[in-house]
Chain A
Amino acid sequence: DIQMTQSPSTLSASVGARVNITCRASQTIDTWLAWYQQKPGKAPKLLIYKTSYLEIGVPSRFSGSLSGTEFTLTISSLQPDDFAIYYCQQYNSYPYTFGQGTRLEIK
């Protein structure tokens, strides 16, 4: 199985800050990577697919990129609604696997 390693596990930041969450895969996954946001008691919400494509309706302050083997989710200017848990997921091969999650907290 492909292991997805996310960092950091927890991130404290202020409203208006720019933050990056990274994800590495244990094997090549091409660009088959998605990012999700999850709030307490709710289902995950798809933010980005295929590394950098923004899901319809997702604010443009969210972006995704790939550099070498490191995938990054960037939030350019944190808003109060952005404090949540974020997960990456590879869908290059079965079983699809998720990162362990990054909890984004208010500083």
Chain B
Amino acid sequence: QVQLVQSGAEVKKPGASVKVSCKASGFPFTTYFFHWVRQAPGQGLEWMGIINPTDVTTTYAQKFQGRVTMTSDTSTTTVYMELSNLTSEDTAVYYCVRAGFDPWGQGTLVTVSS
């Protein structure tokens, strides 16, 4: 079936980087863009950016420019989101989402703590 499966929870120290993966299955990977959305504990949803996995073109929210990198691997039908220079404010669940906003991955909790 159509699904996105993300990598597991991460705990990072301030200043570190995290890379979250999202493996797609059940549909033609290269015919869809992918979004990344995050949600801090008890907070709302925040769009981070979008990637075209075919040519790896990206558009990032200005808030994350310079800190986020979205990549893809068509051979494994996987997209990645790397966020650098982490602070406690980056503690959140990170979701990958197929264009059209369905389906969503199950989410990856990233905790930033010293």
Contacts and interface: CB of A to CB of B under 8 A. Distances in A.
B57 to A, nearest CB: 13
B101 A49 contact: yes
B105 interface: yes
B104 A96 contact: no
Contact of A89 (B45, B50, B62, B106): B45
Interface residues of A, number: 20
B47 A98 contact: yes
Main secondary structure of the interface of A (DSSP, over half): loop
A77 B87 CA distance: 44
Contacts, number: 44
Nearest to B61: A95
A2 B47 CA distance: 12
A57 to B, nearest CB: 10
Given A43-B95, A43-B107, A95 B101 contact: no
Contact of A97 (B47, B49, B102): B47
B10 interface: no
Interface string A25-44: 00000000010100000011
B47 A44 contact: no
A91 B45 CA distance: 14
15 contacts: A43-B104, A43-B105, A43-B107, A45-B104, A46-B102, A49-B100, A89-B45, A89-B47, A94-B61, A95-B47, A95-B62, A97-B47, A98-B46, A100-B44, A101-B44
